[in-house]
Amino acid sequence: MDTQGLEINIDKIVRERAGRKAKWIPRWLTRWLENFIHQDFINSYLRQGREGVDFCEGVIEYLGVDLTVEGTENVPFNGRPLTFVSNHPLGAIDGVTLGGIIGRASGGRVKYLVNDLLMNLKGLAPLCIPINKMGAQARNFPQQVEGAFRSDNHIIMFPAGLCSRLIDGEIHDIPWRKAFIQKSIQNERDIVPVHFIGENSPRFYRVAQWCKRLHLKFNFAMTLLPDEMYRAQGNHFTVRFGKPIPYTTFDHSRTPNEWARWVEDEVYKL
C-alpha cells in the first residue's frame, strides 16, 4: 500500500490554500505548525489505511478513548434515512465517534456535512460532503447537499457550525442554524437529537473568547483542535441518543429558527 498519499502534509496544505501568497510563508512557520498539530502522531494512524466507518472506529481505538453510549435502542438505524443533529463540544472526537456508532449500526449508511479541510483526511473523505462556500467548489455545494438529503444515507450535522464555547459560565453551542430543519422537512426525514458530553481544555475556550472580543475573522481556536484531540487520549465521554422527532412536528406554529432552538434545547435535556 502507498501510505504516502494517506498522510497529511501541513506545508503543502497551507501553501495550496495561500495561492500566490505562498512564497511569503517561511518554512519554519509550517514546520512549527506540523509540530503543533502533532502531524507525526496523526500520520502514524493514517498510514494504517483505514477508511469510512472503520476509520472512525479506529480513531477512538488509537486515542484510547472510553465511551458510554446510551439510547441507541431509541433509533431505527436500519429504517428510513434520518437526520442526526448533535451539539459540538470537542470538534474532532465527537464527529468521528458519531460516524463510527451510526455507521456501524446502519451498515455504513452515513454521511457528514463537514468543513472542506477534512477532505485532506483520505480515510474520512468517503463519508464527507465538504462545505466550502468560497471558490469554484461553492457552485456545486447546494446540489451536493440536496443529493445527500435525497439519498438513503443518514446525515450527521452539527448545526452550530463551530465547536461549543464558554457562554455564561457553561460549555454550550452557539445558536443552531435552521438548515437541518428545512432540509429534513423537505425530504421527510425525522430528526434524532444527540447529546455528546465532553469538554475541551480551558485554553481552548480562552482563545475562542479572545477571538470574539478582538473580532478576528480567522478562527484561531480551530487550529487548536488537533492538539485538543491529542490531549484527550484516554478520556471518557458519554453519547446519548434521543428518540426520533417526526418531521411533521415542525409545522408553521414556529419559524425554522425557533424550531432549531427547540431541538437544541431538547438535545441539552438528554
Could you list the pLDDT tens digit for every one of the 270 residues in the chain? 445 567 888 888 888 877 888 888 888 888 988 898 899 999 999 999 899 999 999 999 999 999 999 999 999 999 999 999 999 999 889 999 999 999 999 999 999 887 766 777 788 888 888 765 544 455 566 777 888 889 999 999 999 988 999 888 899 999 999 999 999 999 999 999 999 999 999 998 998 888 888 777 777 788 888 899 999 999 999 999 999 999 999 999 999 999 999 999 999 999
For residues 155 and 149, is the Cβ–Cβ distance under 8 A? yes
SS in 3 state form for 29-90?
A: HHHHHHHHCCHHHHHHHHCCCCCHHHHHHHHHHHHCCEEEEECHHHCCCCCCCCEEEECCCC
pLDDT confidence of residue 209: 86
pLDDT confidence of residue 3: 57
pTM: 0.89
Q: Which three cell numbers stand for residue 118?
A: 477534512
pLDDT confidence of residue 123: 86
Domains of the chain in sequence order: 1-49 (no CATH), 52-269 (3.40.1130.10)
Secondary structure element (H or E) that encloses residue 157, with its range: strand 154-157
Q: Which residues have C-beta within 8 Å of that of residue 14, sequence separation ≥ 6?
A: 22, 25, 30, 33
pLDDT confidence of residue 189: 96
Interatomic CA distance for residues 44 and 33, integer angstroms:
17
Q: Single out the residue of 233, 177, 178, 179 nearest to residue 201, CA to CA.
A: 233
